[in-house]
């Protein structure tokens, strides 16, 4: 391909790898926009009559900034300085339970101190309020008295005091439950990561021929300032990194670009 | 094509003596716009646009021509109802036959005695593109690594799009235009417009809005015309 005449038609994918062990840390492949910005400071050196006789160039800087249409766990972890943990995690579960014959069944197994796994069950009042109004039942490890309930985690069964709750009433419980999943922790002691980044692009020459190209950034220092906004529009992930030379290997490149032949 | 009448004044365009392409109305297309645009995109497709499907069939999309792709797709579509484009013509027996004159493969219908050779195909595809404001996709990979890369990228894109709900394109356009000051038709009268007229109106209105906004900027002093890369925005009559 003639590298003197081409355009980048799309930024397709950004992959980030751990610089120590080379493992894949993130993939951003729904890029809605991306810009690789270049900066350089140039100070004129003037001579007789104020004429410019030379220039001093310094402070070269490359930053990559863009938005991925979808949140990426790996990218979040890179920007938070976190690791993704796969396994069992405790979450807070909201459970609406229908009472039948003074009994109810939780959807998940409530965990915590034995005899206080659920702690409180909320019963709505006539206005359907259960925070500002309604009734609160407390958990007991013994036989429930009025205003109390007991819970058996083995069978997930809740037992109410006879006559406290009429049949068909929906009560609400909030309890801790164990789920299988992936966890990212935003630790205040950890900061955003520096990854080895590869940016795949599609290029086009003047004759509509398409080519594959790739930017290689040895040290991309991710910025930990970002928003995860949601609402009427789906959450997107804005990201930013600064390219730095690899001092360990003595390489001073801020990036390499390879256009595949 | 150069000597043809303006499509603004036609309800069908002759391709061969006994083969013509209808220019359907907006109302006709809205009867089943999914089907219409599926037919249109298939009959005008280039191998680049069908790279994944061709690869699944074991065909290298860089090795076949537009006409060869048409010879694969058209006989499949011809069995279905193509009256929206071909009118009363019975298309069910269009298939690939050997042209005895030069031993080449052509699309032929014995019942209609119509041969769609490469020349006729180009004419047909170009007319359908023109009617529907479609540009021919001329892109092609520059080398083998680009071919594989683009194929992989397109496969991933199609896999993701398969899960997405299809948006009604023409319906959205009709709603947008009917509720635009510059469009002089209402929902009812717009249904009788040919799709070519409708598309041309859309193109002109889009250009006029862009021109008006540019001119507001010019008069307000916020737009410097010398820095405009698209000088076409300085005239309300588009150059192309």
Contact B150 A12 (CB under 8 A): no
pLDDT digits (tens, 9 = 90+) for A160-208: 999 999 999 999 999 999 999 999 999 999 999 999 999 999 999 888 8
Residues B93, B111: contact at Cβ < 8 Å?
yes
Interface test with A, best of B149, B152, B157, B159 (most A CBs within 10 A): B149
Closest CA in chain A for residue B156: A29
**Chain A residues closer than 8 Å to B146 by CB:** 209-212, 260
d(CA B177, CA B184): 9
The phi and psi torsions of A26 (rounded to 5 degrees) equal -155, 150
**What pLDDT is recorded for position A1?**
66
**Chain B residues closer than 8 Å to A6 by CB:** none
| A153: closest CA of chain B, how far (Å) | 40
- Mean pLDDT across chain B: 92
For residue B201, the SS3 value is helix
Strand order in B114-116's β-sheet? B95-99, B104-109, B114-116
**Chain B residues closer than 8 Å to A261 by CB:** 143, 145
The helix (H) or strand (E) run that includes residue B144 is helix B144-162
Distances (CA, A) of B150 to A191, B48, B212: 36, 9, 39
Residues A35, A64: contact at Cβ < 8 Å?
yes
Of A208, A210, A261, Cβ closest to residue B150 = A210
- Phi/psi class of residue A59: alpha, beta or left (left: φ > 0; alpha: ψ in -120 to 50)? left
| B225: closest CA of chain A, how far (Å) | 25
Interface test with A, best of B47, B48, B142 (most A CBs within 10 A): B142
Contact B153 A260 (CB under 8 A): no
* Model confidence, pTM: 0.78
Pairing of strands B104-109, B114-116: antiparallel
Q: Which residues of B touch A (CB under 8 A)?
A: 138-143, 145-146, 149-150, 153, 156
Task: Read off the pLDDT band of B50 (50, 70, 90).
Answer: very high
**Structure tokens, B148:** 């594989």
Q: Of A83, A78, A38, A84, nearest to A226 (Cα)?
A: A78
**Structure tokens, B4:** 């043809």
Length of chain B: 240
User: Terminus-to-terminus CA distance in chain A, angstroms?
Assistant: 6
Closest CA in chain B for residue A2: B142
Pairing of strands A157-160, A110-111: unpaired
Task: Read off the pLDDT band of B2 (50, 70, 90).
Answer: very low
ipTM surpasses cut 0.85? no
| A210: closest CA of chain B, how far (Å) | 4
Of B138, B143, B156, Cβ closest to residue A208 = B138
pLDDT digits (tens, 9 = 90+) for A208-254: 899 999 999 999 999 999 988 777 788 889 999 999 998 888 888 99
pLDDT digits (tens, 9 = 90+) for B148-171: 999 999 999 999 888 888 889 999
| B220: closest CA of chain A, how far (Å) | 30
Contact B141 A209 (CB under 8 A): yes
List of residues 6+ apart from A238 with CB closer than 8 A: A65, A66, A67, A226, A227
The helix (H) or strand (E) run that includes residue B127 is helix B118-131
Task: Read off the pLDDT band of A97 (50, 70, 90).
Answer: very high
Is the Cα torsion angle B161, B163, B167, B168 positive or negative in sign? Answer: positive
Distances (CA, A) of A260 to A198, B143, B155: 14, 8, 20
Of A200, A204, A261, Cβ closest to residue B143 = A261
Q: Is A260 on the interface with B (CB under 8 A)?
A: yes
C-alpha Rg value of chain A to the nearest Å = 29
Q: In this predicted model, which residue has the larger pLDDT, B102 or A24?
A: A24
Contact B140 A202 (CB under 8 A): no
Q: Is A32 on the interface with B (CB under 8 A)?
A: no
Residues A147, A161: contact at Cβ < 8 Å?
yes
Residues A123, A169: contact at Cβ < 8 Å?
yes
**Chain A residues closer than 8 Å to B139 by CB:** 204, 208-210
Distances (CA, A) of A167 to A1, A101, A218, B221: 77, 6, 65, 74
Angle between helices B33-43 and B169-178 (to 10 degrees): 110
């Amino acid at each position: 391909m003639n590298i003197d005449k081409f355009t980048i038609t799309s930024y397709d994918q950004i992959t980030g790898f751990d610089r120590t062990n080379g493992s894949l840390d993130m993939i951003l492949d729904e890029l809605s926009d991306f810009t690789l910005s270049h900066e350089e400071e140039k100070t004129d050196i003037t001579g007789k009559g104020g004429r410019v006789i030379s220039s001093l160039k310094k402070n070269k800087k490359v930053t990559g900034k863009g938005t991925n249409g979808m949140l990426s766990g790996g990218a979040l972890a890179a920007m938070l300085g976190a690791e993704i943990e796969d396994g069992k995690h405790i979450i807070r579960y909201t459970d609406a339970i229908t009472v039948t014959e003074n009994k109810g069944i939780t959807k998940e197994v409530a965990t915590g101190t034995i005899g206080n796994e659920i702690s409180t069950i909320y019963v709505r009042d006539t206005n359907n309020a259960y925070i500002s109004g309604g009734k609160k039942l407390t958990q007991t490890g013994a036989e429930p008295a009025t205003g109390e309930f007991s819970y058996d985690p083995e069978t997930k069964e809740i037992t109410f005091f006879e006559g406290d709750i009429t049949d068909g009433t929906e009560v609400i419980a909030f309890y801790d439950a164990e789920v299988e999943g992936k966890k990212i922790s935003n630790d205040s002691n950890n900061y955003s990561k520096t990854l080895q980044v590869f940016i795949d692009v599609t290029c086009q020459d003047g004759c509509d021929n398409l080519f594959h190209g790739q930017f290689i950034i040895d040290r991309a220092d991710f910025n930990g300032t970002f928003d995860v906004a949601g609402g009427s529009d789906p959450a997107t992930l804005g990201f930013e990194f600064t390219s730095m030379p690899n001092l360990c290997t003595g390489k001073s490149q801020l990036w390499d670009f390879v256009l595949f032949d | 094509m150069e000597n043809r009448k303006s499509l603004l004044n036609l309800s069908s365009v002759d391709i061969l003596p006994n083969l013509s392409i209808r220019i359907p109305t907006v109302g006709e297309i809205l009867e089943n716009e999914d089907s219409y645009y599926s037919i249109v995109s298939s009959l005008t497709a280039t191998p680049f646009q069908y790279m994944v499907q061709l690869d699944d069939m074991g065909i290298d999309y860089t090795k076949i021509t537009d006409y060869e792709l048409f010879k694969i797709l058209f006989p499949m579509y011809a069995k279905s109802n193509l009256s929206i484009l071909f009118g009363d013509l019975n298309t069910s027996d269009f298939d690939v036959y050997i042209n005895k004159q030069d031993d080449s493969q052509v699309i032929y219908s014995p019942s209609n005695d119509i041969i769609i050779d490469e020349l006729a195909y180009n004419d047909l595809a170009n007319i359908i593109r023109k009617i529907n404001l479609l540009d021919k996709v001329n892109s092609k990979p520059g080398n083998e690594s680009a071919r594989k890369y683009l194929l992989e990228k397109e496969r991933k894109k199609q896999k993701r799009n398969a899960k997405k709900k299809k948006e009604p394109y023409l319906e959205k356009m009709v709603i947008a235009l009917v509720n635009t000051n510059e469009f002089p038709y209402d929902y009812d009268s717009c249904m009788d417009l040919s799709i070519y007229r409708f598309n041309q109106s859309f193109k002109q209105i889009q250009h006029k809005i862009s021109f008006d906004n540019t001119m507001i900027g010019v008069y307000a002093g916020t737009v410097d015309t010398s820095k405009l890369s698209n000088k076409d925005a300085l005239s309300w009559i588009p150059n192309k």
